[in-house]
Amino acid sequence: VESVEGFYVEYGSTTCHSLVVSAVFCPSMQGLGARAGGRVTGQDDLQYMIEAIVAPEAFVVAGFGNVMPQNFGEQMTSEELGDIIAYLLEQ
């Protein structure tokens, strides 16, 4: 991926997920790297992020609806998925 940030924007992620402040429609990505590993017992941050993107209905954050597209796993290559997860975990 040439620009992971550009890829994040291209997939419309910034429409709902803020990288800097609390979001109204969807959880903020700010500080996600520090939170992801503890969200589901027995899963590390990488496992959680893969499942949250590929099967978003599995982890709907309290207070938010399940509005994330259900087909990101089909649209992204393994490399793109890995790149976007690495990018998000750094936020």
What pLDDT, in 10s, does the model give residues 7-46?
556 665 656 666 666 656 677 777 777 877 777 888 888 8
Contact yes or no for 36/89 (Cβ under 8 A): yes
Rg, the chain, Cα only: 12
pTM above 0.75, yes or no: no
3-state percent breakdown (helix, strand, coil) of the chain, nearest 5: 50, 0, 50
Single-letter code of the amino acid located at 25: F
Q: Token digits for 21?
A: 């402040």
**Amino acid sitting at position 71:** N
